[in-house]
Each structure stands twice: as structure tokens, then as C-alpha cells.
Amino acid sequence: MPKFGYSAKVEEPCARAMGKELRISPKHAMEVCRAIRGARLAEAKEYLLAVIAKKKPVPFKRHRKKLAHRKGLSGWDAGQYPVKAARYILKVLENAEANAKYKGLDPDKLRIVHASAQKGIVIPGFIPRAFARATPFNTPTTNVEIILKEVA
């Protein structure tokens, strides 16, 4: 059984949440986490809701080969609307917010100090083909971690 831990050490008081083995693209999750890292909690939730509604694109800075330009990006051209990844990361962010409220932290002063996504396990699968053959069709999973801290 693997041991899961956080990849960043942040001193208390802080609120943490982790989504394990989410069935989303690791590349999309990495770009969404990069976009919300350092933002205030309310701004990040508003941004993710705008991405889900396809109003604001996420700038793709690493995984951008043959990716179209999107209007509305400042300082960057290539982007997409990773709706599924944004929806799952919003759930993890709301879990972190609930943990912060439970610990007595002020939700208006919370900032995302750490947001990261790593590859999880690969769920193997296959597609039957003609002449008794098969093609692999694996499902990637992602581990997402978010840490919130109170900033004045």
C-alpha cells in the first residue's frame, strides 16, 4: 500500500486537501494548478467557475504543442478550457476551504500557497480489434494537493 503525503512543508496554521487518483488528465491538472497557485481563495474559485463555463482560458505553458491561441490571455497565447480538470480541482479547493473553516481560519484572508498535480496510477484497459487483436486503452489518474494559508 503506498503512503501518500504532501510534497510541500508549510507551517501551521494552514488548511490542506488532497484528491487521490482523480480520473482527469495529469497535463490539464498541472496547468490548472499552475494557473491558480498564489491566488486568493475567492479569486481562484471565481476563475475555476469561469473556466468551467468556458469564459476564461487556462494558459498552457508546458503542454502546448500544436495548441491553438485563445483570446483573453495576458502575457501568453496558447491555452485551453480544461473543464473536467477544473471541476475536480474546484472540489478539492472547496474541501480545503471547509478544512480551513473547521480550523478557525478566516476565509477572506486565505491564499493558495501550494497547488500541485502529479501522475497517479494508470488503470489498464484495452479495446478489442479485428482478427483477435487488442489495442491498449489505459486511463491515467492524477493526485492533486492544495494548501491554503492565511495572509494579511
- Rounded to two decimals, the pTM is 0.91
- What's CA 38's distance to the chain center, in Å? 13
Can you tell me whether residue 145 is helix, strand or coil? strand
Predicted confidence (pLDDT) per residue in 34-88, tens digit: 999 999 999 999 999 999 999 999 999 998 899 999 988 888 899 999 999 999 9
Predicted confidence (pLDDT) per residue in 109-138, tens digit: 999 999 999 999 999 999 999 999 999 999
| Model pLDDT, residue 51 | 97
- What's CA 130's distance to the chain center, in Å? 38
Cβ pair 24, 53 in contact under 8 A: no
Q: Kindly give the pairing relationship between strand 139-150 and strand 134-136.
A: unpaired
Residue 120 is which amino acid?
A: G
- Delineate the domains of the chain, giving CATH numbers in brackets: 14-150 (3.90.470.10)
